[in-house]
Amino acid sequence: MAQIKVNDVTFSYEGSFDDVLKDVNYNIDTDWKLGLIGRNGKGKTTLLNLLMGRYECNKGSISSSTRFDYFPYEISEDDLNKTADELTGKWKPEAESWQILIQMNQIGMDAECLYRPLKTLSFGERTRVMLAVLFAVEGEFLLIDEPTNHLDIEAREAVKNYLSKKKGFILVSHDRDLLDAVCDHVLVLNRQTIEVQTGNFSSWWENKEKADAFAKAENEKHLKEINKLKVAADRAERWADKNEATKIGFNPIKEHDRFMDTRAYIGAKTKKMQSRVKNFEGRIDREIEEKEGLLQDIEKDIRLKVMPLKHHKDVLILAKDLSLQYADAEKPLFENMRFQIRQGDRVVLKGENGCGKSSIIKAILGKAAYEENIPGCENLIVNGTLDVASGLKISYINQDTSFLNGNLKDYCKVHNFDESLFLAILSQLDFSAVQFTKNMEEFSEGQKKKVLIASSLITSAHLYIWDEPLNYIDVFSRMQIEKLILEFKPTMLIVEHDVRFQEKVATDIVEFN
């Protein structure tokens, strides 16, 4: 077992005004199963790249005697025509085929996937092949960056079961179920500090909630004490000023018991009162000092809002004996599907990638004459019944973020959004003021997803259709969105593979067999 030491590391990208990481210090052991947790844009992927030696620290150092390897491996357009076996020389030259085949067996994959062109593999198959290559050689500390994005539940389960039997890695993930199943330590990039803790996400979150409650109580206690001391200091200061004013001039008739030498007594009394004021001020400073930093890492419970519209019909979507087939396909995606969406329902579509979940969404959008062009609708053949309520207004989040470019101001103009309200929603999703000055091409994938979520939230609609909205979204924002949905109860059709999210928000689950 070796140690990785990160000493006082600060890093910012060239031309950027803000530090991605600042004065970072921690030590980790290379046999840990470490979950890396933090909000979007906090520097998780940057930290992995620093460990890989791809970037130079602006300040500080990273020391370790171990070798690192990184998931996912880069895949070019040309690589898609090659097999994973052919690409092993590029990804991990020291790995032997037999070592990879052992790992593929452990992750539940057929050996033939190693010898098929990558373009013929699904996202889940590619992920599992890469993980098999990643773990093929012993003696390395592995950096695994969001392995479950775009994976269906079956593929996520396979990855979860595989990683739970491994050790010696950092896992960046926003999937609470995965973090709980595979991690024995967590490294958390808080708002202002960094902490390393034994346990998984749930144990850390339970400790954090207790620590936050204690910090809030201490903060309240200090605020009350500061207010009491300020009142006492103000009262003592006024007494001192009033007493000092009596030193000069007196009426010998009304104040017959006072003499000139009384001035010395009054001066001494005033000095004593002023000393008491200084004591109060010192205690106030100490209370303020003890209060500082108490709330620096608290995840603020900021309420998001959504304003759903009321439709005149109760049933908004009705599917009976529904089958969908693309014009150039030999057989339907599915047949005899039945479900309905009533007002207030939150229906989750559940099934393997490629089973037709996104195609149902395209069919509904096509029937509803959705204002934006949805690629693929024109080639979709609908058989059976798919009724969409007339005049239905839909707010839609697509999986794709590649079309996001330019600045947020222009984006608001194009979509006719209230700019101040749109930026306020992004602020509540933890965008900093610095992000508002950047072009969206510079955003992380999680930040791009938040732009799409903010776009949906700002749009009043009868039905909110979200297609894998949480890919790359940090765990804190996921919990915010869950609270939003449970509070405002919009009518929704959702494709999302996050098991915890499904458990929290779904009123009904439609399974594809």
Instruction: Give yes or no for residue 248 having a pLDDT over 60.
Output: no
Peptide bond into 72 cis (omega under 30): yes
Structure-token match 């390395």, residue found: 140
- How confident is the model over 321-350, as a mean pLDDT? 92
CB atoms within 10 A of CB 139: 9
Residues in the chain: 513
Helix (H) or strand (E) run with residue 384 in it:
strand 380-388
Name the token pair of 26.
Answer: 């921690």
CA distance 372 to 389: 18
Mean pLDDT of the chain, nearest integer: 86
Structure-token match 């077992």, residue found: 1
Q: What is this structure's pTM? A: 0.77
- How confident is the model over 386-415, as a mean pLDDT? 92
pLDDT, tens digit, 9 for 90 and up, residues 129-174: 999 999 999 999 999 999 998 888 888 999 999 999 999 999 999 9
Instruction: Give yes or no for residue 249 having a pLDDT over 70.
Output: no
Position 265 confidence tier, pLDDT thresholds 50, 70, 90: low
Helix boundaries (H) for 340-460:
357-367, 408-415, 419-428, 445-457
Instruction: Give yes or no for residue 380 having a pLDDT over 90.
Output: no
- How confident is the model over 417-443, as a mean pLDDT? 89
- How confident is the model over 234-246, as a mean pLDDT? 67
Is residue 425 left, alpha or beta, with left meaning phi > 0 and alpha meaning psi from -120 to 50? alpha
CA distance 161 to 285: 54
334-342 sheet: strands from edge to edge: 334-342, 315-326, 380-388
Output 271 or 350, whichever has higher pLDDT: 350
Output 468 or 240, whichever has higher pLDDT: 468
Task: Specify the range with the lowest mean pLDDT, choosing from 83-97, 220-234, 373-387, 422-436.
Answer: 220-234
CA distance 511 to 513: 6
Task: Specify the range with the lowest mean pLDDT, choosing from 253-267, 357-371, 455-469.
Answer: 253-267
CA distance 185 to 204: 9
